[in-house]
Chain A
Amino acid sequence: METSKKTGFDSKKINEFLLSYALYIILGAMILVVIIINPSFLSISNFTKILTQASTRGILALGAAGMIVLAGTDLSAGRILGCSAAVSASLVQSTTYASRMYPNITNDLPLLLPLLASIGVALFFCLINGFGVAKLKLHAFIVSLGTSLIAFGVTCIYIDSQAGGAQALSSYNETFLNFVNGSFNLLGFEIPHLIIYFAIAAVVMWVVWNKTTLGKNMFAIGGNPEAAAVSGINLTRNIMGVYIMAGVLYGIAAFLEAGRIQSVNTGTGLNYDLDAISGCVIGGVSFSGGVGTIPGVIIGVVILQTINYSLSFLGVNPYLQYIIKGLMIILAVSIDVRKYLAKK
């Protein structure tokens, strides 16, 4: 009797564990299957490629995570990245390239200028989002959907305004390409610069989230805005702060992404927002607000990139990849909802 009682308790515990960690179990099993089918997947070069690809999306996700912690979302991150990337790409085109957007620029600009331009563009759109959410009390979903379309329109007009018509912005100067795509040797391993930039962004964001008043206020507002307001937190100022932070990160991500893909067109940034949001959700940032960690976001983004990479590595039909990724996002949210309901 006692044994069955004990077994019952254990099976309940096991069920609980399986349901709570279903996503990670599936991902682990999936990676295991990929390794069994093709053992060459388990190599340093593949791991480096996954991290490099995850870095720009990771920086984007670090920005979007703040909005999710505020119980909102950002559907415009991808299109904002596209617009900022177009602006920075046009400013870093090689001066020897005949079809460059600005033929009047005859010397390579210092990299700080295109970076600031990229951040400026991203900030502009994020401030619109922030104003809509903080001041007009609109839902982040609607405001960011609007700015997403505006950013896309602006990108199309900007790219279309070239003398040669709507052609992709490519052929960048060497300094920029080295800055983004370069690598350095550490104990015999080639470490790409992009991974370092991602690591720096993650450390800075960890400090902002955990050691500053803005970070603490952000969690308080996300958890319970009314209680935060009553306890004297200035909602508008703090929400705007989170959006400004996101704008800076989007701008940096756009600048780096332009260099990584080496050709920016109107399609750049498409679905990046969904990748960023799903990375956050997989990493444990709750849509209910007030819950999330920077290590979680990083793990989420890397896991998502590993799924993308391993499915492509096995040659799985890209249309099926969309379905699998979509299901995984729904699974992550379902697990989050279940946790919330169980706690209630």
Chain B
Amino acid sequence: MNEDNNFEKINEVNELVDNDVESEVTKKENAEVSKPTFRTNLYDKIDVSVKTMDIIIVIIVVLIVIFLFFGIYQSFS
């Protein structure tokens, strides 16, 4: 009976060790994969909504039109 118990305990410990080793290996593999070899995507750092971008685009378009008309007006006056 005691021998059986010991055997079970040994098995449990072995399993725990195996799991630990496995998780260590997985951790290492993951770390290698996620190692930042390059910078992350440039646009991921932009923290604005699509709506804000829409407003920015409209403002730029208006500015371009103003400068274009001003330039053309200036060249003909």
Q: In the complex the two chains form, what is the Cα distance from A225 to B37 in whole Å?
A: 8
Q: In the complex the two chains form, what is the Cα distance from A330 to B56 in whole Å?
A: 10
Name the residue in A15, A289, A334 with the highest tally of chain B Cβ atoms < 10 Å from its Cβ.
A334
The 4 closest A-B pairs by CB, nearest first: A316-B71, A315-B75, A338-B53, A225-B38
Complex contact B42–A288 (CB within 8 A): yes
Complex contact A340–B43 (CB within 8 A): yes
**Nearest opposing residue in chain B for A313, CB measure:** B75
Q: In the complex the two chains form, what is the Cα distance from A160 to B39 in whole Å?
A: 40
The interface residues of chain A lying within 8 Å CB-to-CB of B49 are: 341
The interface residues of chain A lying within 8 Å CB-to-CB of B56 are: 334
Complex contact B43–A321 (CB within 8 A): no
Listed in ascending order, the chain A residues whose CB lies under 8 Å from chain B are 15, 19, 22, 26, 30, 33, 37, 71, 137, 139, 225-226, 229-230, 235, 287-289, 311, 314-317, 320-321, 323-324, 327-328, 330-331, 334-335, 337-338, 340-342
Complex contact A330–B60 (CB within 8 A): yes
Q: In the complex the two chains form, what is the Cα distance from A19 to B53 in whole Å?
A: 10
Q: In the complex the two chains form, what is the Cα distance from A277 to B48 in whole Å?
A: 24
Q: Which of B42, B54, B60 contacts A71 (CB 8 A)?
A: B42
Complex contact A287–B42 (CB within 8 A): yes
Complex contact B54–A338 (CB within 8 A): yes
Interface string of B51-77 (1 = CB under 8 A from A): 001101100110111011011101110
**Nearest opposing residue in chain A for B33, CB measure:** A230
27 residue pairs bridging A and B, Cβ less than 8 Å apart = A26-B61, A26-B64, A30-B68, A37-B72, A139-B39, A225-B37, A226-B38, A235-B37, A287-B42, A288-B42, A288-B43, A289-B41, A289-B42, A315-B75, A316-B72, A320-B71, A324-B68, A327-B67, A328-B64, A331-B57, A334-B56, A334-B57, A335-B57, A337-B46, A338-B57, A341-B46, A341-B50
Q: Is B34 among interface residues, defined by CB-CB distance under 8 A?
A: yes
Q: How far is the CB of A214 from chain B (nearest CB, A)?
A: 18
Interface string of B15-26 (1 = CB under 8 A from A): 000000000000
Complex contact A71–B50 (CB within 8 A): no
Q: In the complex the two chains form, what is the Cα distance from A26 to B39 in whole Å?
A: 34
